[in-house]
Amino acid sequence: MLERAECYAFTALCSVNFFISCLIFSSVSREQREPYMDEIFHIPQAQKYCQGKFNQWDPMITTLPGLYLLSVGVIKPVVWLADFSGAVVCSTAMLRFINLLFNCGNLYILYLIICRLHFKDKSRLAARRVLSALTLSTFPVLYFFTFLYYTDAGSTFFTLFAYLMCLYGCHKASALLGICAILFRQTNIIWVAFCASTVVAQKMDEAWRVEQSKKRDEKTPSQVPLSVSGVRRVVNFLLYYFTTPANVKTVILVAWPYGLVGAGFVTFVVLNNGIVVGDRTSHEACLNFPQLFYFFSFTLVFSLPASLCYHRLVRFVQSLRKHPFLFLLMAALFLLLIWKFTYVHKYLLADNRHFPFYVWKRIFQKHHLIRFLLVPGYLFAAWNFYDTLKFKSLFWLLALSVCLLAATVPQKLLEFRYFILPYLLYRVHIPLPSLPRLLLEFALYTAVNAATLYIFIYKTFHWPDSSAVQRFMW
């Protein structure tokens, strides 16, 4: 009975969410009828595919054609069944509508992931699971691009779908969905690797328990003390695990579908002479380590209602007192990484249509020492990130950390869209917040969405050397 009531509540919220999203979509499309920003590349390319011109490619596009292929797969049947003109159906508004469908899919996938991860005590958590899924589906950066023809909504859908299948042990399906995610954005190979890593981490947890039971040590890897001896124990176990033929065989048997995807991706990179397709001049990889600090800060801000509380602040102070030298060492490392590895993309300094332009201008460019003075905030944001996940396996956390480094550090451009997937994967794993906290989080997201969409629609401006209308966006 409870599950049926939860299902009804979720269906009702989905319907309301879709109705409101359609109203917003109508308003955005009415005010901005022509392609805007990156849409000037995506929409003409999709229209060429709609016309069957699959051999024509805009060299300015840097992602694979997953979005365009799926758009054609959805739109062409509509043309055949309704006898519409292809030009009408492949219009800017119709192509944008594809992402509105992805938004519904993201809501459902998020709900299923949350149900899988937080399945205990169904009677108490039902409302919180539903509200969590609804809230995360309106995550501001992702929700904004629901109304434009960008790759973010589809990329998020297929990546989360792949992770859901991984959680259910359907690894072949997960790998296939991972390929779909890569076709939307090549960097999603990192999250395919994350799916594989979580499977391997689970096997390593089992091996750790067996190994430690022989030594009559019941500590899980997460309970190993934070010391030189503790680190040595974990490193020795990792070396032992990956040099034992039986363990290597176990890893191969469970992770081979992801291995095939990885091998295919490596082949693509070799043949393509790089990850980026099309124009590569503005997408050069570098070791921009502060990107990780920006991500931790971004995560702290948007998860504030769900993650921050008085007791966590107290624990942070206690951690500072208990491990002062560790925090000093981390602070010194952060300072060194900021000093030697801060890169600023030309778009960040020149394109005043994006919010990161103003973040950089009004914070980081105020004084050259500002970036160093923010280190205490970065330390707390990083500590809060891992403290909210402290119940997870150490090997799982290692897998997440490696993937997080791979997803953020090589990016030269500070772009909040790159934080969507790691943020959502973080947020679905932390313990479900209480209803008041969830309502506060939903209110925060709603306020940010309302503000950003209002600014995009109504607060237009012009560049001095152009008559085109410019709009502010993420």
94-132: pLDDT as tens digits: 999 999 999 999 999 999 999 999 887 565 788 899 999
Give the model confidence (pLDDT) of 310-367 as tens digits.
889 999 999 999 989 999 999 999 999 999 999 999 889 888 999 999 999 999 999 8
What DSSP element (H or E) covers 470?
A: strand 469-470
Give the model confidence (pLDDT) of 145-161 as tens digits.
999 999 999 999 999 99
3-state secondary structure of 461: strand
Q: Which residues are registered as beta bridge partners of 204?
A: none
Check pLDDT > 90 for residue 66: yes
What DSSP element (H or E) covers 404?
A: helix 394-408
Q: Which residues are registered as beta bridge partners of 461?
A: 470
Q: How far apart are CA 275 and CA 288, in angstroms?
A: 18
408 found inside a domain: yes
Rounded to 10 degrees, the C-alpha dihedral 130/133/135/137 comes to -140
342 found inside a domain: yes
Q: How far apart are CA 240 and CA 103, in angstroms?
A: 44
Check pLDDT > 70 for residue 250: yes
User: According to the model, what pLDDT value does residue 1 have?
Assistant: 46
User: According to the model, what pLDDT value does residue 12 have?
Assistant: 87
Check pLDDT > 70 for residue 230: no
User: According to the model, what pLDDT value does residue 26 have?
Assistant: 94
Q: State the residue range of the domain holding 341.
A: 282-433
Check pLDDT > 80 for residue 212: no
3-state secondary structure of 469: strand
Q: How far apart are CA 22 and CA 65, in angstroms?
A: 26
Tokens of 433: 């917040």
397 found inside a domain: yes
Q: How many distinct structural domains can be found in the chain? A: 1
Cβ 145 vs Cβ 474: under 8 Å: yes
Taking residue 66's Cβ as centre, other Cβ atoms within 10 Å add up to 21
56 found inside a domain: no
Check pLDDT > 90 for residue 22: yes
269 found inside a domain: no
User: According to the model, what pLDDT value does residue 235 have?
Assistant: 82
In Å, how far from its chain's centre is CA 455?
24
- Considering only residues 469 and 240, tell me which one the structure prediction assigns the higher pLDDT: 469
Type of residue numbered 157: F
362 found inside a domain: yes
Res. 405 pLDDT band, cuts 50 70 90: very high
To the nearest 5 percent, what fractions of the chain are helix, strand and coil?
75, 0, 25
3-state secondary structure of 366: coil
Check pLDDT > 80 for residue 463: yes
Check pLDDT > 60 for residue 225: no
User: According to the model, what pLDDT value does residue 258 have?
Assistant: 96
Check pLDDT > 60 for residue 224: no
Average pLDDT over residues 366-371: 92
Q: How far apart are CA 266 and CA 273, in angstroms?
A: 10
**DSSP annotation of 145:** G
Check pLDDT > 80 for residue 79: no
81 found inside a domain: no
Most confident of 268-282, 304-318, 413-427: 413-427
What DSSP element (H or E) covers 24?
A: helix 2-31
Check pLDDT > 80 for residue 6: no
Q: Give which of 172, 153, 8, 163 is closest to 70, Cα–Cα.
A: 153
Cβ 364 vs Cβ 293: under 8 Å: no
SS (H, E, C) 247-303: HHHHHHHHHHHHHHHHHHHHHHHHHHCCCCCCCCCCCCCCCCCHHHHHHHHHHHHHC
Cβ 273 vs Cβ 190: under 8 Å: no
Provide the phi-psi class of 103: left if phi over 0, else alpha when psi is between -120 and 50, else beta: alpha
Average pLDDT over residues 25-40: 93
How many residues does this entry show for the chain? 474
- Considering only residues 92 and 8, tell me which one the structure prediction assigns the higher pLDDT: 92
272 found inside a domain: no
Average pLDDT over residues 377-387: 95
Provide the phi-psi class of 37: left if phi over 0, else alpha when psi is between -120 and 50, else beta: left
Average pLDDT over residues 180-188: 96
Give the model confidence (pLDDT) of 266-276 as tens digits.
999 999 988 98
User: According to the model, what pLDDT value does residue 425 have?
Assistant: 97
**DSSP annotation of 33:** -
Q: Give which of 116, 251, 260, 261 is closest to 197, Cα–Cα.
A: 251
pLDDT more than 70, % of the chain:
93
User: According to the model, what pLDDT value does residue 362 have?
Assistant: 93
CA distances (Å), 474 to each of 138, 146, 204, 429, in order? 14, 12, 40, 25
3-state secondary structure of 23: helix
**DSSP annotation of 361:** I
SS (H, E, C) 146-163: HHCCCCHHHHHHHHHHHH
Average pLDDT over residues 390-415: 93
Average of per-residue pLDDT values in the chain: 90
What DSSP element (H or E) covers 89?
A: helix 86-89
- Considering only residues 113 and 246, tell me which one the structure prediction assigns the higher pLDDT: 113
User: According to the model, what pLDDT value does residue 177 have?
Assistant: 97
- Please enumerate in sequence order all residues whose Cβ is within 8 A of that of 157, keeping only pairs 6 or more positions apart, or say none: 102, 105, 106, 109
pTM, rounded to two decimals: 0.93
Tokens of 302: 């948007």
